[in-house]
Structure 1
């Protein structure tokens, strides 16, 4: 099959769940003999326009982008959709709702099948202004109307599209990255003042919907003896929010801002954590949470639907989304009950290893593609992944 991918910023992945998702799925497809072209933003790829290069067999094609918040993603996606018309792809796969605004452009070849993956309801994110939010909502409707196959990464998203549009979708979840070896001596962690097993970790972009501010407030009020809080993540398009947050923690001796971590340092800090906390108000199916669970780290998360899907049945603890008091109570209980934390972490690790595999996800994507190419009607179901 000849496959085009639109909506990822580029490869190799730096920051961003979609980029990591594409880095796992598409090289596996290439290894099975398929051809994959991924249209990228030249600023992210740090490569001149149309100066293509290979990433693990995937051809990455940098396209012009204007590096203006709320415009760059739409510009690159539009050019990518037009570019697919110059080559007769079997599949054009859009990732995220904003880029899906251009799904009808990619249908110029009647034999080409359009697939959209919704990783989350992006129009709810705080970084978007009114105009960009409306465009993303339009992209959502275009995806519903023009995608031959619509994939979602959580059961909550599946319910949303069915209830809102009467549109059946295909549930294919995310999976955690496979961490390589990290420093067993915890050298980097020690250098920033951490002790293994005695810090709480927040890992993710410092944006309002992920609620690092709530966790900072809860930790500051609880003051757990002998524990530190680590904020690890990059700055997105909400610089005012991030500046205010970092100003608040700057003089707090037990809160460490580690910045954006990658590779061995990231793996070391995740593996050394005593507790992983994700207080988000909005998620698709969070890769960072899956990775912590896979590594056997105890987890606490807000009780939004995607987190409930992952943490049900004694695999972690949930607190009331948006409630600092609920977060404090949960943190306090977990820290006081290390044996229970350990048991939940073991349950979570076993569950993730059994049910979330990139090999399986790649296989399910190829099933979607092949089914579409053999049938003119949109597909609405495939064998389901377990969700609890």
Structure 2
């Protein structure tokens, strides 16, 4: 089949979970003989403005087309999806796969002027995210409505969102969660030189530094406990510089809290491989790829009890009551070395068995 992907920022990239999903899907689909074109946004790297964005025409067999983008908060996704949809209209693609809600506002253009089939993946209810407001929130909600009304098929990543679409729009959706691959566990090297970190010497949060990730709960809880472990907060702001600065100001007297900024490659692998506990204190998630990755590295994971996290970890991790700092403090206190060791022994095999990218590709192609 000839398939178009739109709605991600760009591949290859670790600018967010959507980008990693698109990369995993498309590279596997190409190996199965399908013709895939990804419509990449223009503009700078969202999480690291100093990082060079390479303009590639192909990546592992996936065709890449750069789309005109107004690179400003709140309009980048809107403009890239608008201009990208016109490129897709005049392409030979048979299936157009939209990722995320806001970009779905242009689906009526595709449906009105072509016979192309439209599939949408809802990665989360994006209009709920704290960084948006006013027009952006309304536009994203409009995109959600267009997806519910005009898409031929809709994929959701959690049963919670599946129930929402049924209740809100009486729309049936397909629950196809994300996958994960077996990683290579690596020893400390870069993180020892840069941050003086040793194996099992730190709690780790790794993700975008945005309010809905609940990092402020983790910082407050950590500062209430006495422990010989450091706290590493790895990731960069995503149109949320003021929130990032608030966090830094809050902990400026605490030398045991380390902000790494955006990480990738070997440094990211080392952080996952050597953490004592991975913590994800989110108020809102779609399906957190960082949690799947953390468990694939054999980590003990502590998350908020929102369904999108609790369903992933099952009984192979620990949860605390969403947004309750006192309960997070309690759970951190109760994480003995023996308990952490037990979860570390169980988490990798459990997550690799439950979430397979090849299975995700099978189900997605069947839907096409």
The two structures have a TM-score, normalised by structure 1, of: 0.90
1:121 and 2:125 aligned: yes
C-alpha distance in 1 between matches for 2:139 and 2:297: 38
2:216 to 200, 213, 217: 213
Unaligned segments of structure 2, at least 5 residues: 46-51
Distance 1:167 1:195, change over 3 A: same
Contact map agreement 2:185 2:273 (CA 8 A) in 1: no
C-alpha distance in 2 between matches for 1:142 and 1:178: 37
2:48 aligns to what? Answer: none
SS at match of 1:43: coil
2:258 aligns to what? Answer: 256
Q: How much does 1:223 deviate?
A: 2.6
1:190 and 2:192 aligned: yes
SS at match of 2:286: coil
Q: How much does 1:178 deviate?
A: 4.2
SS at match of 1:285: coil
RMSD over aligned CA atoms reads 1.6
C-alpha distance in 1 between matches for 2:295 and 2:58: 32
C-alpha distance in 1 between matches for 2:358 and 2:16: 20
The two structures have a TM-score, normalised by structure 2, of: 0.94
C-alpha distance in 2 between matches for 1:247 and 1:294: 33
SS at match of 2:358: helix
Contact map agreement 1:176 1:288 (CA 8 A) in 2: no
Distance 1:347 1:156, change over 3 A: farther
C-alpha distance in 1 between matches for 2:43 and 2:144: 26
SS at match of 2:351: helix
1:317 aligns to what? Answer: 318
Unaligned segments of structure 1, at least 5 residues: 370-388
* 1:1-388 mapped onto 2 (5 Å cutoff): 1-44=1-44, 53-108=57-112, 110-180=114-184, 182=186, 184=187, 186-191=188-193, 192-224=195-227, 226-312=228-314, 314-334=315-335, 337-369=336-368
C-alpha distance in 2 between matches for 1:21 and 1:31: 16
SS at match of 2:224: helix
Contact map agreement 2:44 2:71 (CA 8 A) in 1: no
C-alpha distance in 2 between matches for 1:340 and 1:242: 32
C-alpha distance in 1 between matches for 2:71 and 2:183: 31
C-alpha distance in 2 between matches for 1:47 and 1:340: 43
Aligned length: 361
C-alpha distance in 1 between matches for 2:114 and 2:263: 44
SS at match of 2:43: helix
